[in-house]
Amino acid sequence: MEDQQRSNLYNKTRKVHPKKRSNILFHFLFCWELPVVIKGWKRDLSEDDMYDPLRETDSKRLGDKLEKLWKDEEMLRKNPSLARAIMTQFGLEFLLYGFIYFPVDLVVILLQPQFLIKLLNYFVPNQKTTSQKQALIYAATIVLFSFLRVLFFHWFILQLSTVGLKARIACSSLIYRKSLSLKRTTFQKVTTGQVINLLSNDVYRLDFVFAYVHFLWISPVEAIAAAFYLDLTLGHAALTGIGFIVVCLLLQTLMSQQIARCRKEVALKTDYRIRLMNDIVVGIQVIKMYTWEKTFIKLVEAARNLEMKKVAKSINLRVVNNSLRLLYTRLSIYICVLIMIFNGVPLTSQYIFGLVNTYEFLKISAIIYVPLAVTLFSEARISVSRIQKFLLTEFEKPSELAKNFRQTESVSSVYLIKNDSGLKNKPLGVFLDNVSLKWSPSFTCNTLTNVNFTANTGEVVGIIGAAGSGKSTLLQTILKEVDAQKGSVEVNGTVSYASQDPWVFPASVKQNILFGEEMDAERYRKVIKVCALERDFSLFPFGDNTLVGDRGVMLSGGQKARINLARAVYRDADIYLLDDPLSAVDAHVAEHIYKECVTGYLREKCVVLVTHQVHHLKNLEKIYLLKLGRIEEVSNTNLELVRIKKEDNKTMSEDVGDLQSNHIPLEIKEHRSSNSMGRKIYKDYCLASGSWCKVFLIVLMLVISQALGNTVEYFVAFLVNLKQDITFHTELKDIFTVNNCTYIYSSLILIFIFATYTALRLLTGFCVQAARNLHSAMLINVIHGTMEFFNHHSSGRILNRFSKDLGCLDESIPLNLILSVTMTLMLAGICGTISILNYWMIIPTIIVLVIIVSYGILFQPTTKNIKRTEAITKSSVFTHTMASLQGLTTIRAFNGQKILQHEFDKHMNLYSSAYYMMIALYSTMTFWTDLTCVIYTSLVIFSFFIFESMISEMYVGYIGLAITQSISLVGLFQYGMRTWTELDSQMTSVERVVEYSKLSPEQDTGTNTPSPDWPKTGKIAFRSVSMRYPGGSSPVLKRISFDIRSGEKIGVVGRTGAGKSSLISVLFRLFPFHGHVIIDGIDTKSIPLAILRSKISIIPQDPVLFLGTLRQNVDPFEEYSDSQLWNALEEVELRGMVANWGSGLETIILEGGSNVSVGQRQLLCLVRAILKNVNIIILDEATANVDLKTDEVIQRVIRRRFQDCTVLTIAHRLNTIMDSDKILVMDAGTIAEFGPPQLLLKNPSGQFYNLVKRSGNKEENVEPGKSAVL
């Protein structure tokens, strides 16, 4: 029900964004965010609380514009540049905000120090030049300058962060649109994991680069202006600090370049790791059944170690950058003081603290923002280049078919003929003339050779052939998915397509069928009827509004196939390309679909039908046979075809689903923890890095570093007082000579540098270790997690933890943790120093701290909620993208790109609404923090006037130190609050990773290790076995008991939902069950899972191949020699084909095995079973989607290679089980019949008898399979 509600999440009407209703004053003061803050304080926020996105952040509008600019770049420029397209779209807005902010910032930097000098002059003993009235004016002006800088800075950052957000949305939309046009052959270079990484990591480098890159020109201009002004007012010695800025900037520029290079290397390593994780998530059931968990864990850990080496290097370089930020002002003043001492220049408070004020401004602008801008710019440049490389990848160009047709305004999923005479006069149909092509340039042989093919309107044209003969490639050629290298392909008319691998996307059944088409109730009803979906809909919990789940997890294979077919048939097209739609359904259902749909409902259309069930083709006038890429037309009376027909038995297990309570429940909502997360997650993070002793040592070193920093500053004020005020500690003047002062000052500086660098290195190592350990724990627990977990969590959601959340742990959290801790200690040091120097400020300091901490407490729940919502809505973007990439051919065949783009935009708009709220919340909190600090600065300054007569030792050096320290709080406090709040919200990523690292693993209670040759005989006994899927209300197996003798061949039949697949789950212990399964006298519950599963081999219905070499797919442990691999390939008759691939065993298998046919994938799975060489073999409808030649190969291997093994075959074709020793008939979780097939066929009232009767000639079926070879 929760997931059902989620389906409406993106379509519901949302509240108008509060920013649209606020006036300009509320904009500048960020008051429009306060209602959101209050709401988040009172209760948890969710996706339902998000507002309509602002028009300026609308995904479609931004994507359309950038797509147009990018197309202009590709067409009009020799070297297209994505960066140029982005700047064309957003450059004017970007420059405008910079030029508005710059003059305000420059005036404050130049004039505020001068007013401070004049103010301090008032407190110099015996001065006569500055009156109290003038001093009060100077003080008020200083406060006013601070307020103006705060007001404009936060407005500036929010506006430019919004520009960055818009650039990221536009690029995300462009990446998705590009992914929909990728050629199938391109997936050797571009993987799903790479696309997800672009969307999860690379595009986010644009978020803040716009906000800070202005400082690359603002800071140098301000530094030059400040240098001239300081030289005029304070003399040449003041320029040494400016020179030190230049040195620091050069060092930081060099380090930023290194960081950027590291970032590029990290991105490549991350791509590879996410690709591995995508393979694991998609093929997890196969991995578990083959006990490959440890192998894949080692592969991912190896990839992770390579990645972390680059991450650690990047973070260490950033530590040096952070060290310079902490050291800059103190080192600059140190150099100035030494030069003044050696040159005999008097140390005055006006001079020193005027410099301090100027250098603090320049530190923020030049030392903090410039390196940040350089780093962000370098990383953004690399990310943009990666995105650009992806955009320039070979894509599916609009075919002549597409050029000759147009779309309707309602975003139809098919092409419509233009109203021109040229096309009107062409006959509708498909015409191929002498076509030759290769699937991949690496292939030594053509996939299709000299193919001549015609299909006219009103015809049903059959295509038959063995696995790998080129049937699906022929349809791909008609669809223009594969380019013909020779000959011509002409397709006249609108096209609809049903793929061999059924594709569904995470939505309702109805949405999958309509696929963007307008609802026509009558047509919809007819299509549902002819596609045999009526009964399924009556059993679904929400009818055709039931959600199919990620990758169609809620549907059986037959249901997916019929929904896939219904989508194609619902289109009112001229040409229908149906790629083997009958294989995955029951015999009478296949008969119904063929008669009512293919030759009935579509009788006036042009239908191209690929099928392995050749008995349906007896009435067709045109049949094509493909052999090794060559085509010939055969007669329906051909003797070979007749023999094939007799041996081709139809499916026998009734394929009507049962999505009721006894099945796996619908996908659950992503876990959303409440605000009570508290500090526990910090504890988990600390423990992940090691021990509490390590934490204590790091904190101690950081405190020592900060104490030394404050001591350095206090010593400067002490020297100023000693040299300027004759009444200050006269007894010490002889002790603190020039040389002694130099030695003491230099020693303090050196110790401070050493302590700071050591503390930050320890903290960095702490963060890197935490990221390593948390990833390892999450990886191990996810791979060893239950199948229930994978059925409930979408692949996009899981990959989000391993991509975005882990990326946050690797880079964002360490930097923010370092900044947060150092800023906290620095702020504590400043407030402590002010309170010591002016004890009247102790109470105001406490009050201000309480107010600012209250901001954090007030904003924290809302920011955490918004951050979680942002993470959850981001997962939906990834899930949608992954589903789209899995169905590219179908999407393009229906011209459904616009439909899915629209869905992507809805997902992106919800996500961007959450993200904008998050950055606006940061700006609101930091603005009010800075405003409070401005008030505090005014209290500090005016307190020296108010309590002038009460402060007995009011020395000007201490006054200057207190005022400059209070001014530095403006900007520093909000920066610290921002980093803490951002860190706190980013800890959501830690929480999400920790959640997965604490997943309950599969129950493995087995402690009995059998002998290495167990099981010797393969005897299996079920004793009162019952099983219920987690969350199901009724069992799928109900106290079943039966025995299988050694070496017996057992056929298992029954309708979908009868419990056939549940038997496999019990044998492999994929789900918990009651009762006992005994193999060779040993209860399987007593055997460790890894041992049990390694002793059983399975050939699954849906063959799973991973991106990698052929060798890695059949022998991931590298246990077998080349000769053993080649012999196994020869046994399944693939040796010749693999040899022709050129690279042999090192041939790259594309993601999902998309470059080999379904039959070839199944044979490669059979190779795994041959190599495994065990005594118990399970065939889970292994021949359901293969041609007769492949079926015969599989049956021959089973009879010859596994003749002494115990074999359980979940049947699809009757000829595959009719020579079995026994037939097990399942019905509603119970055993309806169990015995030899000859005996069961003697019972006219038996279920097996009726199944065979329905499937055709009973006598023919009883004979052992003699499938003909095509």
* Residues shown for the chain: 1270
Overall number of domains in the chain: 4
Closest listed residue to residue 552, CA positions, set 822, 879, 288: 879
Name the β-bridge partners of 466.
none
Among the ranges given (122-126, 776-780, 952-956), the one the predictor scored with the smallest mean pLDDT: 952-956
- At residue 443, the pLDDT reads 61
The burial class, CB within 10 Å (0-12 / 13-18 / 19+), for 148 is middle
Q: Find the mean pLDDT for residues 582-598.
A: 83
End-to-end C-alpha distance for the chain, whole angstroms: 49
C-alpha span between 397 and 481 (Å, rounded): 9
pLDDT band at 412 (very low <50, low <70, confident <90, very high): very low
Shared domain check, 638 and 602: yes
Q: Is residue 693 part of a domain?
A: yes
Shared domain check, 948 and 1046: no
- Residue 668 pLDDT exceeds 70: no
Closest listed residue to residue 531, CA positions, set 655, 430, 416, 640: 655
Shared domain check, 1036 and 952: no
| Segment holding 694, helix H or strand E | helix 692-724
Shared domain check, 1225 and 1134: no
pLDDT digits (tens, 9 = 90+) for 300-352: 999 999 999 988 888 888 777 767 777 878 888 888 888 887 877 777 888 88
- At residue 83, the pLDDT reads 92
| Segment holding 432, helix H or strand E | strand 429-437
The residue type at 617: L
pLDDT band at 1032 (very low <50, low <70, confident <90, very high): low
C-alpha span between 310 and 307 (Å, rounded): 6
Closest listed residue to residue 160, CA positions, set 197, 103, 213: 213
- Residue 606 pLDDT exceeds 70: yes
Shared domain check, 1151 and 1179: no
Q: Which of 1173, 1205, 1230 is the last residue of a domain?
A: 1173
With a CB cutoff of 8 Å and minimum separation 6, the contacts of 499 are 564, 579, 887, 889, 890, 893
- At residue 136, the pLDDT reads 93
- Residue 383 pLDDT exceeds 70: yes
- At residue 1258, the pLDDT reads 44
Q: What ranges in 283-292 are assigned the alpha helix state H?
A: 284-289
- At residue 14, the pLDDT reads 60
C-alpha span between 266 and 270 (Å, rounded): 6
Range of the domain at 1048: 1017-1095+1175-1259
- At residue 643, the pLDDT reads 40
Q: Is residue 256 part of a domain?
A: yes
Q: Is residue 673 part of a domain?
A: no
Q: Find the mean pLDDT for residues 129-154.
A: 91
- 312, 700, 773, 777, 1084 from 688: Cα distances, Å: 17, 20, 6, 9, 36
Q: Is residue 345 part of a domain?
A: yes
Q: What ranges in 813-896 are assigned the alpha helix state H?
A: 813-837, 842-886, 888-893
C-alpha span between 282 and 795 (Å, rounded): 7
CB atoms inside a 10 Å sphere around CB 49: 19
pLDDT band at 1204 (very low <50, low <70, confident <90, very high): confident
pLDDT digits (tens, 9 = 90+) for 619-634: 788 888 888 778 888 7
DSSP-derived 3-state class of residue 498: strand
Q: How far is CA 31 from the centre of its chain?
A: 34
Average pLDDT, the chain: 81
- Residue 664 pLDDT exceeds 80: no
Q: Is residue 1265 part of a domain?
A: no
- At residue 332, the pLDDT reads 85
Q: Find the mean pLDDT for residues 774-793.
A: 88
Tokens standing for residue 400: 């002549």
CB atoms inside a 10 Å sphere around CB 973: 24
Contact between residue 97 and residue 945 where contact means Cβ atoms under 8 Å apart: no
Whole-number percent of the chain with pLDDT over 70: 86
Tokens standing for residue 626: 């493909």
- At residue 100, the pLDDT reads 92
Contact between residue 554 and residue 1029 where contact means Cβ atoms under 8 Å apart: no
Q: Find the mean pLDDT for residues 508-531.
A: 90
**Which of residues 1144 and 46 earns the better pLDDT score?**
1144
pLDDT digits (tens, 9 = 90+) for 1-23: 334 444 444 445 567 767 767 66
pLDDT digits (tens, 9 = 90+) for 264-314: 888 888 888 888 888 888 888 888 888 888 888 988 999 999 999 988 888
Contact between residue 626 and residue 464 where contact means Cβ atoms under 8 Å apart: yes
- At residue 131, the pLDDT reads 87
Tokens standing for residue 611: 């099928």
- At residue 1254, the pLDDT reads 67
| Max Cα-Cα span within the chain | 124
- Residue 1260 pLDDT exceeds 60: no
CB atoms inside a 10 Å sphere around CB 281: 23
Q: Find the mean pLDDT for residues 797-815.
A: 87
pLDDT band at 850 (very low <50, low <70, confident <90, very high): very high
Which DSSP string corresponds to 1054-1074? --TTSSHHHHHHHHTTSS-EE
Which DSSP string corresponds to 130-178? --HHHHHHHHHHHHHHHHHHHHHHHHHHHHHHHHHHHHHHHHHHHHHHH
Among the ranges given (431-445, 768-782, 1132-1146), the one the predictor scored with the smallest mean pLDDT: 431-445
Contact between residue 732 and residue 722 where contact means Cβ atoms under 8 Å apart: yes
- At residue 951, the pLDDT reads 56
pLDDT band at 656 (very low <50, low <70, confident <90, very high): very low
Q: Which of 1120, 1154, 1173 is the last residue of a domain?
A: 1173
Q: Is residue 100 part of a domain?
A: yes
- At residue 659, the pLDDT reads 39
pLDDT band at 435 (very low <50, low <70, confident <90, very high): confident
pLDDT band at 407 (very low <50, low <70, confident <90, very high): very low
pLDDT band at 678 (very low <50, low <70, confident <90, very high): low
Contact between residue 783 and residue 280 where contact means Cβ atoms under 8 Å apart: yes
Tokens standing for residue 1242: 């003697």
Among the ranges given (885-894, 969-978, 1134-1143, 1255-1264), the one the predictor scored with the smallest mean pLDDT: 1255-1264
- At residue 1268, the pLDDT reads 30
Q: Is residue 679 part of a domain?
A: no
Shared domain check, 985 and 861: yes
pLDDT band at 648 (very low <50, low <70, confident <90, very high): very low
Among the ranges given (722-736, 1095-1109, 1242-1256), the one the predictor scored with the smallest mean pLDDT: 722-736
C-alpha span between 1057 and 281 (Å, rounded): 25
Q: What CATH number has the domain bearing residue 1057?
A: 3.40.50.300
Q: Is residue 1184 part of a domain?
A: yes
Tokens standing for residue 343: 């040159």
C-alpha span between 1084 and 1075 (Å, rounded): 11
Contact between residue 1018 and residue 1176 where contact means Cβ atoms under 8 Å apart: yes
Shared domain check, 1211 and 1160: no
- At residue 1196, the pLDDT reads 83
Q: Find the mean pLDDT for residues 916-929.
A: 88
**Which of residues 636 and 1210 earns the better pLDDT score?**
1210
Shared domain check, 821 and 799: yes
Q: Find the mean pLDDT for residues 82-95.
A: 93
Residue in the block written with tokens 């770049």: 73
According to DSSP, residue 896 is labeled -
Residue in the block written with tokens 């201000």: 848
Tokens standing for residue 1048: 């017996």
pLDDT digits (tens, 9 = 90+) for 151-200: 999 899 999 999 999 999 999 999 999 888 877 666 656 777 788 888 88
**Inter-axis angle of helices 34-42 and 897-946, to 10 degrees?**
100
Provide the Cα torsion 63, 69, 72, 73; round to 10°: -110
The vertex-849 CA angle with 843 and 853, nearest 5°, equals: 150
Among the ranges given (203-217, 1042-1056, 1241-1255), the one the predictor scored with the smallest mean pLDDT: 1241-1255
Peptide bond into 1015 cis (omega under 30): yes
pLDDT band at 787 (very low <50, low <70, confident <90, very high): confident
Shared domain check, 749 and 728: yes
Q: What CATH number has the domain bearing residue 262?
A: 1.20.1560.10
pLDDT band at 98 (very low <50, low <70, confident <90, very high): very high
Q: Which of 1115, 1138, 1173 is the last residue of a domain?
A: 1173
Shared domain check, 1075 and 1108: no
- At residue 651, the pLDDT reads 39
- At residue 660, the pLDDT reads 37
Contact between residue 1161 and residue 1103 where contact means Cβ atoms under 8 Å apart: yes
Shared domain check, 1168 and 1182: no
- At residue 398, the pLDDT reads 42
pLDDT digits (tens, 9 = 90+) for 28-67: 777 777 777 777 777 777 677 777 777 888 999 999 999 9
**Which of residues 452 and 551 earns the better pLDDT score?**
452
Taking phi over 0 as left and psi of -120 to 50 as alpha, with beta for the rest, 465 belongs to left
Shared domain check, 1168 and 1179: no
Which DSSP string corresponds to 187-233? GGT--HHHHHHHHHTGGGGGTTHHHHTTHHHHHHHHHHHHHHHHHHH
